[in-house]
Amino acid sequence: MTSIALRAPQRLRGVIQVPGDKSISHRAVIFNAVAAGSAQVSNFLAGADCLATIACVRALGVDVQRAGTEVRITGAGLHGLCEPADVLDCGNSGTTLRLLAGLLAGRPLFAVLSGDASLRSRPQRRIVAPLRALGAWLDGRDDGDRAPLAVRGATLSGGRYALPVASAQVKSALLLAGLAGSGPLTLTGKIASRDHSERMLQAMGVDLRLSPEQISLHPPTDPQLPAPLTLRVPGDPSSASFWWVAAAIHPDAELTTAGVCLNPTRTGALEVLRAMGAAITISNERVEGSEPVGDVTVRSSQLRGASIGGELIPRLIDEIPVLAVAAACAEGDTVIRDAQELRAKETDRIATVAGGLAALGVAVEPTADGMAIAGRGPRLVGAELASHGDHRLAMAWAVAALVARGETRVHDPDAVTVSYPGFWETLAGLRA
């Protein structure tokens, strides 16, 4: 499909099962790939990014059987991966490339990691530099900053590393490298980012100690570790956030997203929407595996502008495109700052989000680390909007179309398959 035409519906009602969390799905496959035995993962996200992870892990000699959202992984153990016969194609997925670079850096094999044009344009020095400091050999274009990345694994030392960016991908790459290290690894600095890797490693019996200042990992010596981890992947809060904003900005809406991961490192968008005045109810809160989960209901709301920055940013970084749509529909101004990481995502999301909002008739000023958005209330103007091949932009523009006057056309809508394969079908169901 080259484009999709959308108009604002009269009402929006529904209970939505969003697909499994992308970050947890990647990790469930990668960590179980080096576990000592078989694990069953249900509600796996069968989106393009996580399927790329499965393909790469299979190319490393791991048996992965998938039927829809059910996945069985027979781990090769910490030292059982095979040298891949070809380039590992990570597609559009930064998580696949960075976590696998960490995993492979400490294994005695040679591998090349690459992906699509977007992934090959994204910065990799953030993993290459610390992995080199641990004794790994990695190289790539631009002195190791761009994929294709070549990895010749080595026995890594442990040690200390202070994370200069709050990035769960960097943190997880180092923890994966540290699993096969010759001594303990301690991470300090900007360790506050999504913590699914830490939760999963602890649940797999790995000696991982956490404090607000540092993470220490002791490489397992018991061949039964890491123990395989069977789990159900909770719903993805980043996918659910599109429906939260849709319900909040639409004048006649009530939407429930059921079984969503409510890990506090992922719920910054809920906090911001609440501060903007969104009517949000959380029910059925429970713990599934290592993660808190609940149902989130959002109703039509009068939103006001907000200030978004500081420690909140890593907790809502992927939700900024759709929060920008919420800000555009609010009364008053919203300022987003400290979000320079947006420039290193699937697209430069400061530029691409600002460009789309401007087309919708919104006064928006991009800055080096965010943007200022002048809220228009519910008065967006239908427009032609490019997804630029970025899944989260395609979905953010679909949400804008739910309140825009006239027709909105989203180009390259298939980009959603990266993280939310059934997005357009679910949207059609809510409008019916």
Distances (CA, A) of 93 to 15, 119, 309, 322, 349: 29, 7, 25, 20, 16
Residue 172 or 301 with smaller CB distance to ligand S3P:
172
- Amino acid 291 reads E
49 binds ligand S3P (CB under 6 A): no
Residue 13 or 343 with smaller CB distance to ligand S3P:
343
What residues from 187 to 226 belong to the interface with ligand S3P (CB under 6 A)?
A: 193-194
Tokens of 279: 């009517």
175 binds ligand S3P (CB under 6 A): no
Please, what is the minimum distance in Å from the beta carbon of residue 235 to ligand S3P?
Answer: 15
Distance CA 307, CA 9 (A): 30
95 binds ligand S3P (CB under 6 A): yes
Three-class SS state of 249: helix
391 binds ligand S3P (CB under 6 A): no
Which of 32, 169, 301, 334 is in the footprint of ligand S3P by CB under 6 A? 169
Q: Which stretch binds ligand S3P (CB under 6 A): 167-175, 215-223, 249-257, 371-379?
A: 167-175
Residues recognised as catalytic: 318
- Rg for the chain (alpha carbons), in Å? 21
Please, what is the minimum distance in Å from the beta carbon of residue 320 to ligand S3P?
Answer: 10
Contact between residue 296 and residue 271 where contact means Cβ atoms under 8 Å apart? no
23 binds ligand S3P (CB under 6 A): yes
Contact mark string toward ligand S3P, 108..147, x via CB under 6 A:
----------------------------------------
Residue 177 or 430 with smaller CB distance to ligand S3P:
177
Count CB-CB contacts under 10 A for residue 50.
31
Three-class SS state of 19: coil
Which of 6, 278, 317, 427 is in the footprint of ligand S3P by CB under 6 A? 317
Residue 26 or 199 with smaller CB distance to ligand S3P:
26
Which of 99, 88, 91, 165 shows the shortest CA–CA distance to 126?
165
Q: Is the peptide bond before 226 cis (omega within 30 degrees of 0)?
A: yes
- Label residue 222 exposed, middle or buried (CB < 10 Å: 0-12, 13-18, 19+): exposed
Dihedrals phi, psi of 412, to nearest 5 degrees: 55, 55
- Amino acid 166 reads A
Which of 295, 318, 390, 412 is in the footprint of ligand S3P by CB under 6 A? 318
- Amino acid 409 reads R
Which of 168, 173, 233, 330 is in the footprint of ligand S3P by CB under 6 A? 168
Which of 305, 283, 278 shows the shortest CA–CA distance to 294?
283
Contact mark string toward ligand S3P, 24..43, x via CB under 6 A:
--x-----------------
Question: Residue numbers of the site for ligand S3P (CB under 6 A)?
Answer: 23, 26, 95, 167-169, 172, 193-194, 317-318, 341
